[in-house]
Amino acid sequence: MKTSCDALMAMERVSVVADPAKIEEICDAFRSLMGPTRARRGCLRCELYTGWPGPNTVLLESLWKTREDLVQHLQSDRYKSVLQLVETSLEQPVIEFFIVFRREGLEIVEEARKRSP
């Protein structure tokens, strides 16, 4: 059985539906957290997306070297600000974590192409 120590990377996705009148304010608040998040040990990427899957959706996505790096991020004082922003969501917010245990490359494309009709 694989353990968290075997993970190749971890991803966090935080999605909120913002009040249209406050969407820029919410985006600015998330953006203010991105620089410090990117500077944390183990952060590979931190990006903000808007308008998907809905017009007022704000999605913060971060990618971490290890699950442990992600956990340290979640334990940080700064993460409290993320949770406060989540509470502003007009609909049920979505917070998801993906722990990656296997990486594949071109071989998966080759395998798929061999099976294609």
Domain boundaries, position 26? 7-115
Task: Using the predicted structure, report yes or no on whether residue 44 has a pLDDT greater than 80.
Answer: yes
pTM for the model stands at 0.85
| 94 in any annotated domain | yes
How many domains does the chain contain in total?
1
| 2 in any annotated domain | no
Per-residue pLDDT at 53: 84
Average pLDDT for residues 4-23, to the nearest whole number? 90
| 109 in any annotated domain | yes
Task: Using the predicted structure, report yes or no on whether residue 97 has a pLDDT greater than 80.
Answer: yes
| 15 in any annotated domain | yes
Q: Which of 1-5, 53-57, 78-82, 99-103 has the highest mean pLDDT?
A: 78-82
Helix (H) or strand (E) run with residue 11 in it: strand 9-17
Average pLDDT for residues 42-50, to the nearest whole number? 97
| 90-95 contacts, C-beta under 8 A, 24 or more apart | 90/17, 90/18, 90/19, 90/56, 91/17, 93/14, 93/15, 93/16, 93/17, 94/13, 94/14, 94/15, 95/12, 95/13, 95/14, 95/15
**CATH number of the domain where residue 66 is located:** 3.30.70.100
- Residue in this structure with the two tokens 């998907």, named with its chain if needed: 52
| 23 in any annotated domain | yes
